[in-house]
Structure 1
Amino acid sequence: MKKLKRTLTVVIGVAIASQIYFGFLIQDFTIALSVIIFSVFLYNYTELNPIQTAILTGISTTFCRSVWVYCSNMDFMKTIRITTPEIMFFTTFGILFYFLYYKNGKKDLTRFILSVFCCDFISNVVEISIRTRISGENSNMIKALLLVAIVRTLVVLIILILMKYYNSFLVKEEHEERYRKLILLTSSFKSEIYFMNKNASEIEDVMKKSFSVYEIVSKNHYSEELKNLTLDIAKDIHEIKKDYIRVMRGLEEMSNEKIDVEHMKIKDIISILEIYTKDYIIAKSLNIELDFKVECNFYVSQHFYLVSIIRNLIFNGIEAIDSNEKGLIKLQIVDQGDEYVFIVSDNGTGINEGNLDFIFNPGFSTKYDKSGSICRGIGLTLVKDLTQNIFKGSISVESVQNEGTTFTVKIPISSFRR
């Protein structure tokens, strides 16, 4: 099925290209774009048999040209005499290409170009021989056909080089896109692991408290049923803790790749975040403008955690912007002596003054999804924990309702020199 589709593509594509031509040397002999297109197809569709494809192509181009020629002279026999030699051109081209390149074990661009040159030149000689009935050829014709073959072959070579360059460009773009996604995915992954580590100690505290309750129940001679219940709770928490830690250790091992210890420049980090955020804004059809300014450049070793901090603040701002208003998210990074300052601001709805003291608390959130369920509320909690515990920095917030919010993160320069 795939070969059939590609064969039809060649036949139709070359037939269309055959309508771009000019007369040359003798009456009814033309030099067409179709030969160039046909050669390019043969290079890219290596699974197609060139003889079969050439014959079908010759028939289709002859038919297309016959329609135009017949409409101009209304003479069927004359039309056949003018157009049918083109079938011999493509048939000769296909046969020669089959033996010069297709059946040859060594396939490279140089051999392909030389094969196309020979096929073009010899096929033109065959066609013009039929049209002039052999005796009409002369050395000037041969020289002219050599020149045509050289020019068309050079055009084919240029097209293939441009295609290779374009393909390598696409591959590079694809690799960069995958790298950006890997950075963002790993950032979220490591941030969740960080939060799980923090929760593990809280689970340990709960387990200790549950055993303390069991000891109190045992010492004060409560009912056997209550004593067994408190013991079962303590045991269950202990098992949950073991499973939780096992999963957490497995995730940590998965994340311990070489990429973890690579340094990244802050400008590269912000470039990745800017592309990601713009893609999100476009995908969601949001009316939001980004204004990112990085006034200094430095290496970051714990870049996954820094990505989490900045991304959470940016998307917190996006969520705060009314969908009916023109939004603006600003990011500024400056060097202030012994610390780097990260300022993220938005022109959203702002935060109620009564909530400012609670926005960093675990579970606190003012946002609801469309189903009515409250959000997890760990975004700003995570931002504060990472800022203080990983980077030994500080975070503050200023907000005015209906005007916007500004978060300021300050991190000592020494935290990036570890």
Structure 2
Amino acid sequence: MKTLLIGDDFINKLKTTLTAAICIALAAQVNFQLFAPGFMISLAPIILPIMLYFNRDYNPVIIAFSAGIISSLYRGLILFVSSNIDNIFEVIYADALFYFAYGILFLFLYGNKSKSTLTNFFAATVISDYFSNLLEVSVMLHFKNFQLEIFKTLIIVAFIRATIAVFVILLSRYYNFLLRREEHEERYRKLILITSNVKSEIYFMNKNNLQIEDVMKKAYYLYKALSLEKYPENLRVTSLDVAKDVHEIKKDYISIIKGLEEQFNDSNDIVQMNIKDIINIVSDEIREFIRSNKLKVYIDFKIHNNFNVSNHYYLVTVLRNLIYNSIEARESKKTEYINVDINKYRDECVFIVSDNGTGIRTEDINYIFNAGFSTKFKEQTGDICRGIGLAHVKGIVDEVFKGTITVESQVGIGTKFTVKINQDEMERVSK
């Protein structure tokens, strides 16, 4: 197994080295002649340091030597086919010498550094480029006829190519930074949505816990009443067993709630979010849902005033439930328009979610906020929706935000939900 891993590592390194060498060799073909026949100024010394920078785990001498061999062979073939230069072998030799010298200089100036910066990289690139070019042109001139202009030009060329290489690396860093930031923002949005779901469920689990306790008490009182009236023992035992079973269910229920609360504690609730950031998160999720399901739904968010929200997880739950309720209430063949209008009038924050969906019958208006009530069902299966969404919304608006929610609707025209919350309650952290 170890032998296989070593073999795979060697193959991967060989592929990377050959890929870098081929890219450098191709870049070397973009060039212009200078100083002596066969001496070229090319793009290769720009690509070479970039390849060395992004493959710092590899020996720069090996990459440079590989590039030198491939580039020299490729260049020699081109010269042989298309050029009248007599000293082809000298040109190839000088070209290869450039890469060999570059790799060795770069290794000592940058590759062996345990801690290196872009400044060190820039200096190593300039020096490696300059002296390698100087060696190449010296060979081409047979170490004769040196002029000051050659030294000046080579240092300028080395400086320009090193600057371009550093600029490309900085662009790559910035691009990666944008990708990481986008990924971080996406994860943060998902965390907000997941937390809002869990916290709202915890809130209603705590409410249900009170109902469970009430059932347990009723079962125990029934046991006492049956005992006083001397009902048959099997009835008394059954009623007591019911009380015990409910008590065990309550213990498990409390354990689950505590576990969730520990994972989703309130430490982040004290950090306020402004309403624009909240809407951006909700909007992205809703639009992605519409796109992925290819729905004929257009949604528009309008925020007239920006304000802070402390219990943002609960507000996300309210808005998402109302919007998804509108989406579910649409007619399948009709294009639906949903408008979310957010404004602040004096000290009151107002949220309006309206649509042009199927509407709600007048006789159903008074029941839509009751848990378990639903007018929606799946035509394919006949299953009725559980009807918990609007009950959640009203519970959170009433008890968490101390606000109000009203609904106006006409069958075939649409529905409008209006949520009003005092600004002090909006900014207050729930205990």
TM bucket, shorter chain: over 0.9
CA displacement, residues 5-38 of structure 1 (integer Å, 9 cap, x when unaligned): 4323312322332232222222222111121111
Return the letter of the residue paired with 1:112. Answer: F
Residue type at the aligned position of 1:56: S
Q: Give secondary structure in 1 for the equivalent of 2:38.
A: strand
User: RMSD across aligned C-alpha pairs, in angstroms?
Assistant: 2.3
* 2:375 equivalent among 346, 366, 374: 366
Tell me the distance in 2 between the aligned counterparts of 1:164 and 1:287: 40
* Contact preservation (8 Å) 1:263, 1:299: yes
Please say if residues 125 and 162 of structure 2, whose CA atoms lie closer than 8 Å, have aligned partners that are also in contact: yes
Confirm or deny: 8 A CA contact 1:394 1:410 kept in the other structure. Answer: yes
2:409 aligned to which of 389, 392, 399: 399
Report the alpha carbon displacement of residue 295 of structure 1 after superposing the two structures with TM: 0.9
Deviates more, 1:142-151 or 1:8-17: 8-17
Would you say the 8 A contact 2:405–2:418 is kept in 1?
Answer: yes
Which residue of 1 is the match for residue 65 of structure 2?
55
In structure 1, C-alpha distance between the alignment counterparts of 2:13 and 2:333, rounded to whole Å: 52
Q: Does 1:88 align with 2:97?
A: yes
Change (3 A) 1:132 1:182: same
Other-structure match for 1:380: 390
Matches of 1:139 and 1:338, distance apart in 2: 78
From 21, 29, 36, the equivalent of 2:31 is 21
The residue number in structure 2 matching 1:241 is 250
Letter in 1 for 2:17: T
CA distance in 2, matches of 1:318, 1:115: 61
Any idea what the Cα deviations from partners look like across 1:116-148, whole Å, max 9, x if unmatched? 111001111121122222224332222211111
Q: Which residues of structure 2 form unaligned runs of 5+? A: 1-8
Aligned-pair CA distance for 1:112? 1.1
Superposed CA deviations along residues 155-206 of structure 1, whole A, max 9, x for unmatched, are 1122222223333333333332222222222111110110101100110111
Corresponding residue number in structure 2 for 1:131: 140
Deviation at 1:324, TM superposition (A): 4.3
TM-score after normalising by structure 1: 0.92
Out of 419, 422, 428, the position equivalent to 1:412 is: 422
Distance 1:360-1:102 versus aligned 2 partners, 3 A rule = same
| Identity percentage of aligned residues | 44
What residue number does 1:150 align with?
A: 159
What corresponds to 2:4 in structure 1? none
Q: Distance in 2 between matches of 1:327 and 1:128?
A: 72
Give the aligned partner of residue 356 of structure 1.
365
Q: CA deviation at 1:78?
A: 5.8
**Residue of structure 2 equivalent to 1:283:** 292
Equivalent residue number for residue 400 of structure 2: 390
SS of the aligned residue for 2:189 comes to helix
Structure 2 CA distance for aligned equivalents of residues 87 and 371 of structure 1: 74
Corresponding residue of 1:207: 216
Post-superposition offset of 1:241 = 0.7
Residues paired across the two proteins, number:
417
Structure 2 residue 353 is the aligned partner of structure 1 residue 344: yes
What amino acid is the match of 2:406? S
Amino acid at match of 1:259: N
Which is further off, 396-405 or 297-306?
396-405
Is contact 1:350-1:405 (8 Å) kept? Answer: yes
Match of 1:333 among 339, 342, 346: 342
Q: Distance in 2 between matches of 1:237 and 1:126?
A: 89
Shift in alpha-carbon separation, 1:159–1:366, aligned structure 2, 3 A: same
- Give me the whole-angstrom Cα distance separating, in 1, the residues matched to 2:362 and 2:263: 42
Asked if structure 2 preserves the Cα contact closer than 8 Å seen for 1:23 and 1:30, the reply is yes
- Which residue is 1:38 aligned to? 48
1:368 to partner: Cα distance: 4.3
Partner SS state of residue 51, structure 1: helix
Contact 1:129 1:136 in 2 (8 A): no
Q: What residue number does 1:64 align with?
A: 74
8 A contact 2:18–2:66 mirrored in 1: no
The answer to whether the 8 A contact 2:359-2:410 is kept is yes
TM-superposed CA distance for 1:371, in Å, is 6.2
How many angstroms apart in 1 are the aligned matches of 2:327 and 2:321?
10
Gaps of 5+ in 1: none
1:349 alignment partner, SS class: coil
CA distance in 2, matches of 1:382, 1:257: 19
Aligned-partner SS, 1:26: coil
Alpha carbons 1:51, 1:98 under 8 Å: kept: yes
- Name 1:184's counterpart in structure 2: 193
Decide whether aligned partners of structure 1 residues 340 and 224 sit closer, same or farther in structure 2, where only a CA change above 3 A counts: same
Shift, 1:278, TM fit = 2.3
